Copies of this chain bind each other. A is one copy, B any other.
Amino acid sequence: MRAFIVLGHKVPLTPNFSLNDLPGSAGRLDILCRCVTAAFCLSHGIRRDVTVYLVLQNQIVLRFEGTRLKHLNPDERSTAALIQKALKAFTERAGAEIESTPGIFVAAGGLSEALKRVTDEGLTVYWLHERGSPIRKVQLSADAAFVLSDHLEFLPEEEAILEKLPRLSLGPLSLHADHCIVLAHNELDLRGGVAPAPQGV
Number of copies: 2
A74 touches B176 (CB 8 A): yes
A156 CB within 8 Å of chain B? no
Partner among B31, B43, B76, B172 whose Cβ is within 8 Å of the Cβ of A30: B76
A96 CB within 8 Å of chain B? no
| Bound-complex Cα distance A176 to B175 (A) | 18
A11 to chain B, nearest CB (A): 14
Which range holds the interface residue count of chain A? 35 or more
A23 touches B75 (CB 8 A): yes
Residues of B close to A175: CB separation below 8 A:
42-43, 182
A160 CB within 8 Å of chain B? no
A173 touches B77 (CB 8 A): no
B77 touches A22 (CB 8 A): yes
| Bound-complex Cα distance A31 to B173 (A) | 23
A38 CB within 8 Å of chain B? yes
Residues of B close to A19: CB separation below 8 A:
20
Question: Which stretch, A50-58, A64-72, A118-126, A186-194, touches the partner chain B?
Answer: A186-194
For residue A188, which residue of chain B has the nearest CB? B171
| Bound-complex Cα distance A174 to B198 (A) | 10
25 A-B pairs (CB sep. < 8 Å) = A19-B20, A22-B75, A23-B74, A23-B78, A30-B74, A30-B76, A31-B74, A34-B37, A37-B176, A38-B179, A42-B173, A42-B174, A43-B151, A43-B173, A43-B174, A43-B176, A75-B76, A76-B76, A170-B186, A171-B189, A172-B190, A173-B189, A173-B194, A175-B182, A182-B182
Extra A-B contacts (8), CB below 8 Å, given A42-B175, A171-B186, A179-B182: A20-B77, A23-B74, A30-B77, A43-B173, A75-B76, A170-B186, A173-B189, A182-B183
